Amino acid sequence: MNIIACRSHPNPTILPYAPHSSLTHQYPLRFAVLGAGFAGLSVVWHLLNQSPKELNLNIHLYDEFGIGGGASGISGGLLHPYSPKVKPLWEGAQCWEETINLFTIAQQATQHHIKPFLPHKRGILRPAMDIKNMTKLNHNAKTSLPCCRVQTLNNQAAQTLLPGLCLPFDTAFFMPQALNINPRHYLEALFLACENLVKESSSLYSGEKQLILHKKSIHGLSEFEGEYDAVIVCLGAKVNMLPEISGRLPLRTCRGVIVHLEPPDNTRCYPEHGPSILSDAWISVQGSRSLNVGSTWEWKSINSSSNVSTDEASKALHQLLPKASAIYPGIKDWVFTGAKAGLRAMPPLTPHGSLPLLGCINDFIGRNHSCKYWLFGGLGSRGLLYHGWLGSLMAHAVLSCNEEVIPSELTSWKNIKPKF
């Protein structure tokens, strides 16, 4: 890969990166990654992994709340590559593969140091909720992806998986390979993997790698001007708080509340191998005595706090519990133990679906700069699926200073005028 230092440098002879040049060791590349959620951690890993072993590279990761402190860390943690109509999402197989690769990397890094982030490989069950789309659903299930198969189940087969299930139309679609994880634990594990890669690279190869986490708030891109060769913005909905970008992206914000439930006693636990559920409300199984139920949708919210007031939690429970109990009636007896919230950045609808926003934003923010600014945002509610592959694409683009390595479907947002 041809690595180009994108900022103006007092010694211009180092600008085309030469793998064996001693000047490379003299002037390390400095990258800032803003945001330590799914997008930011994926970019950090891939920058470290894709950069030449001889390259001196300093990465500074900025997040006010630390690893997984934003919307990524409180998400449902349900991984599958399908739309609500069980249709494969854009590049779903590729995205699935890359995310599974990151799961493996994170698992290998943690060993016994951090709580496991894969509670169980239970699969995910999607009950048919609309008789009008049944034909389409059945057709899509028959053409599902080999990496994550979809099985059509009748009521009897579904009851075997989850006794007490209630299917409105006696049909459900089961994804046995789909996963549910603990997002916060996963992100902590992936950060540990990044730290391990830094230590390994610095000890085995001539290039020195550094990774530094800064727990500080970000007030504008001007803070980073002249300090870095590239700045990669992975702030999710908080991107609208940057004055250089605010109101100029085709994104809508949406606050979502997730409630945590536990059984009233040991006799009414969730079945040991029972699947997670996707319906009008989803149920993410964290264990036989721990369920997360989500999510509410408060459009145009600007509240990014993960804390939930008593009133907001009560309203969320009132919205979510009837939807969840319509499919799994036993959950009505479970006890509310808390709630968390996150602010999503929802991308616009395109002919290929609702896709994240990637690309260089130097021209977009309208000034000449001494470094390259990049955007990786708008993951919406599909950050877990998209972050692996798209983080790899973003790292490739940053290291090569070439936006053209990013598929045009992910940069076409630049032609859209924001309506909100």
Instruction: Over range 151-179, report the average pLDDT.
Output: 95
Q: Is the pLDDT confidence value at 133 over 90?
A: no
Q: Does the structure show a pLDDT above 60 at 20? A: no
Residues 412/414/415/420 CA torsion (nearest 10 deg): 110
Rounded percentage of the chain residues whose pLDDT exceeds 90? 78
Average pLDDT, the chain: 89
pLDDT beyond 80 at 8: no
Q: What tens digit of pLDDT does each residue of 235-264 get?
A: 999 999 999 998 899 999 999 999 999 999
Q: In the structure, how many helices (H) and strands (E) does the chain have? A: 9, 19
* CATH label, 12-71+184-249+350-415, candidates 2.10.10.90, 3.40.50.720, 3.40.718.10, 3.40.50.300: 3.40.50.720
pTM attached to this predicted model:
0.91
Spatial distance between the Cα atoms of 206 and 139, rounded to a whole number of angstroms? 55
Q: What is the pLDDT of residue 384?
A: 97
CA–CA gap between residue 255 and residue 262 (Å, rounded): 24
Name the architecture of domain 120-179+252-346: 2-Layer Sandwich (3.30)
Residue 94 CB burial class (10 angstroms; 0-12, 13-18, ≥19): middle
| Model confidence at 2: pLDDT above 80 | no
Q: Confidence band (pLDDT; 50, 70, 90) for 120?
A: low
Q: Where are the domains positioned within the chain?
A: 12-71+184-249+350-415, 120-179+252-346
Q: Do domains 12-71+184-249+350-415 and 120-179+252-346 have the same CATH topology?
A: no
Give residue 226's pLDDT band: very low, low, confident or very high (50, 70, 90). confident
Q: Give the contacts of 66 (CB within 8 A, at least 6 positions apart).
A: 36, 213, 215
Confidence of residue 206 (pLDDT cuts 50, 70, 90): confident
Strands 57-62 vs 29-34: parallel, antiparallel or unpaired? parallel
